[in-house]
Protein backbone atom coordinates (compact mmCIF):
# COMPACT_ATOMS: atom_id res chain seq x y z
CA UNK A 1 0.00 0.00 0.00
CA UNK A 2 1.35 3.43 -0.88
CA UNK A 3 1.72 6.22 1.64
CA UNK A 4 -0.62 9.24 1.41
CA UNK A 5 1.09 12.39 0.14
CA UNK A 6 -0.10 16.00 0.22
CA UNK A 7 -1.22 17.79 -2.93
CA UNK A 8 1.74 19.79 -4.14
CA UNK A 9 0.58 20.94 -7.54
CA UNK A 10 -2.61 22.08 -9.28
CA UNK A 11 -2.81 22.78 -13.01
CA UNK A 12 -5.74 23.68 -15.20
CA UNK A 13 -6.24 23.87 -18.95
CA UNK A 14 -9.23 24.33 -21.23
CA UNK A 15 -9.57 23.07 -24.79
CA UNK A 16 -12.31 23.28 -27.42
CA UNK A 17 -13.90 20.36 -29.25
CA UNK A 18 -15.70 21.00 -32.53
CA UNK A 19 -18.57 18.51 -32.72
CA UNK A 20 -20.35 17.21 -35.82
CA UNK A 21 -23.75 17.29 -34.17
CA UNK A 22 -25.20 14.46 -32.12
CA UNK A 23 -22.35 12.01 -31.68
CA UNK A 24 -19.56 10.92 -29.38
CA UNK A 25 -16.09 12.39 -29.89
CA UNK A 26 -13.18 10.65 -28.20
CA UNK A 27 -11.07 13.16 -26.27
CA UNK A 28 -8.78 10.72 -24.44
CA UNK A 29 -5.63 12.01 -26.12
CA UNK A 30 -6.52 15.65 -25.34
CA UNK A 31 -7.10 14.78 -21.68
CA UNK A 32 -3.81 12.83 -21.63
CA UNK A 33 -2.01 15.87 -23.10
CA UNK A 34 -3.46 18.12 -20.40
CA UNK A 35 -2.39 15.67 -17.69
CA UNK A 36 1.12 15.35 -19.12
CA UNK A 37 1.51 19.13 -19.41
CA UNK A 38 0.41 19.57 -15.79
CA UNK A 39 3.60 18.05 -14.43
CA UNK A 40 1.59 15.91 -12.00
CA UNK A 41 2.90 12.35 -11.69
CA UNK A 42 0.34 10.94 -9.25
CA UNK A 43 -3.00 12.52 -8.53
CA UNK A 44 -6.45 13.11 -9.89
CA UNK A 45 -7.78 14.81 -13.01
CA UNK A 46 -11.23 16.39 -13.03
CA UNK A 47 -12.61 16.69 -16.57
CA UNK A 48 -15.54 19.11 -16.92
CA UNK A 49 -17.60 20.18 -19.96
CA UNK A 50 -18.98 23.73 -19.67
CA UNK A 51 -22.36 23.12 -21.33
CA UNK A 52 -25.88 21.93 -20.51
CA UNK A 53 -26.55 19.99 -23.72
CA UNK A 54 -23.33 17.98 -23.93
CA UNK A 55 -21.76 15.56 -21.47
CA UNK A 56 -18.76 13.40 -20.72
CA UNK A 57 -18.44 9.68 -20.27
CA UNK A 58 -15.88 6.94 -20.01
CA UNK A 59 -16.74 4.11 -22.35
CA UNK A 60 -15.56 1.43 -24.73
CA UNK A 61 -13.15 2.85 -27.30
CA UNK A 62 -12.29 -0.27 -29.31
CA UNK A 63 -15.56 -1.25 -31.00
CA UNK A 64 -17.47 1.54 -32.82
CA UNK A 65 -20.74 -0.39 -32.57
CA UNK A 66 -20.78 0.48 -28.85
CA UNK A 67 -21.13 4.17 -29.72
CA UNK A 68 -23.97 3.41 -32.16
CA UNK A 69 -25.70 1.22 -29.57
CA UNK A 70 -25.48 4.00 -26.97
CA UNK A 71 -27.12 6.46 -29.34
CA UNK A 72 -29.92 4.00 -30.16
CA UNK A 73 -30.48 3.46 -26.45
CA UNK A 74 -30.70 7.20 -25.72
CA UNK A 75 -32.97 7.74 -28.74
CA UNK A 76 -35.39 5.28 -27.16
CA UNK A 77 -34.95 6.58 -23.61
CA UNK A 78 -35.16 10.32 -24.38
CA UNK A 79 -36.72 10.82 -27.84
CA UNK A 80 -36.59 14.17 -29.61
CA UNK A 81 -39.92 15.99 -29.79
CA UNK A 82 -41.46 14.06 -26.89
CA UNK A 83 -44.70 15.88 -25.95
CA UNK A 84 -43.75 15.45 -22.29
CA UNK A 85 -41.32 18.38 -22.67
CA UNK A 86 -42.48 22.00 -22.72
CA UNK A 87 -39.01 23.55 -23.09
CA UNK A 88 -38.34 23.70 -26.84
CA UNK A 89 -36.69 27.12 -27.19
CA UNK A 90 -34.11 25.82 -29.65
CA UNK A 91 -36.08 23.02 -31.28
CA UNK A 92 -37.32 19.49 -30.58
CA UNK A 93 -33.84 18.26 -29.53
CA UNK A 94 -33.39 21.05 -26.94
CA UNK A 95 -34.91 19.53 -23.78
CA UNK A 96 -33.90 15.96 -24.68
CA UNK A 97 -30.30 17.24 -24.91
CA UNK A 98 -30.56 18.66 -21.38
CA UNK A 99 -32.01 15.39 -20.03
CA UNK A 100 -29.28 13.33 -21.72
CA UNK A 101 -26.65 15.63 -20.21
CA UNK A 102 -28.12 15.23 -16.71
CA UNK A 103 -28.25 11.45 -17.10
CA UNK A 104 -24.68 11.06 -18.33
CA UNK A 105 -22.99 13.88 -16.38
CA UNK A 106 -20.80 16.88 -17.10
CA UNK A 107 -17.70 15.89 -15.13
CA UNK A 108 -15.45 12.90 -14.62
CA UNK A 109 -12.65 12.03 -12.22
CA UNK A 110 -9.71 10.16 -13.70
CA UNK A 111 -6.81 8.88 -11.59
CA UNK A 112 -3.34 10.01 -12.69
CA UNK A 113 -0.39 7.60 -12.48
CA UNK A 114 3.09 8.22 -13.89
CA UNK A 115 1.79 11.41 -15.51
CA UNK A 116 -0.89 9.59 -17.51
CA UNK A 117 -4.63 8.94 -17.12
CA UNK A 118 -5.12 5.59 -15.38
CA UNK A 119 -7.77 4.11 -17.68
CA UNK A 120 -8.60 0.47 -18.35
CA UNK A 121 -7.55 -1.31 -21.52
CA UNK A 122 -10.71 -0.52 -23.51
CA UNK A 123 -11.66 2.74 -21.78
CA UNK A 124 -11.71 6.11 -23.48
CA UNK A 125 -12.96 9.56 -22.49
CA UNK A 126 -15.73 10.87 -24.73
CA UNK A 127 -17.54 14.15 -25.23
CA UNK A 128 -21.18 13.33 -25.98
CA UNK A 129 -22.84 16.04 -28.10
CA UNK A 130 -26.61 15.84 -27.58
CA UNK A 131 -27.74 18.48 -30.10
CA UNK A 132 -28.23 17.75 -33.81
CA UNK A 133 -26.30 20.82 -34.94
CA UNK A 134 -22.51 21.10 -34.73
CA UNK A 135 -21.18 23.05 -31.73
CA UNK A 136 -17.94 24.17 -30.13
CA UNK A 137 -17.69 22.69 -26.63
CA UNK A 138 -15.20 23.72 -23.98
CA UNK A 139 -13.66 21.12 -21.71
CA UNK A 140 -11.63 22.05 -18.64
CA UNK A 141 -9.13 19.61 -17.13
CA UNK A 142 -7.97 20.33 -13.59
CA UNK A 143 -5.14 18.12 -12.34
CA UNK A 144 -4.12 17.92 -8.70
CA UNK A 145 -1.37 15.85 -7.15
CA UNK A 146 2.37 15.70 -6.89
List pLDDT tens digits, range 102-116. Answer: 999 999 999 999 999
Residue 52's pLDDT is: 97
Question: Is the pLDDT confidence value at 1 over 70?
Answer: no
Tell me what the pLDDT averaged over the chain comes to: 95
- DSSP 3-state of 31: helix
Is residue 2 over pLDDT 70? no
DSSP assignment letter at 143: E
What percentage of residues in the chain have a pLDDT greater than 70? 97
Q: What is the pLDDT of residue 27?
A: 98
Nearest Cα neighbor of 110 from 51, 28, 15, 49 is: 28
- Nearest of 32, 50, 19, 34 to residue 128 by alpha carbon: 19
Distance from C-alpha of 65 to C-alpha of 45, rounded to nearest angstrom: 28
**What average pLDDT does this structure show over 63-67?**
92
pTM tops 0.85, yes or no: yes
DSSP 4: P
Which pLDDT belongs to residue 6? 72
Amino acid sequence: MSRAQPVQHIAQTTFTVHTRGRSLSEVTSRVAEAISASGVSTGLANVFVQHTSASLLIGENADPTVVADLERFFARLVPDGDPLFRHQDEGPDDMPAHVRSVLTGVSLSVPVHNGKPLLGTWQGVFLYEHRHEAHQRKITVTVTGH
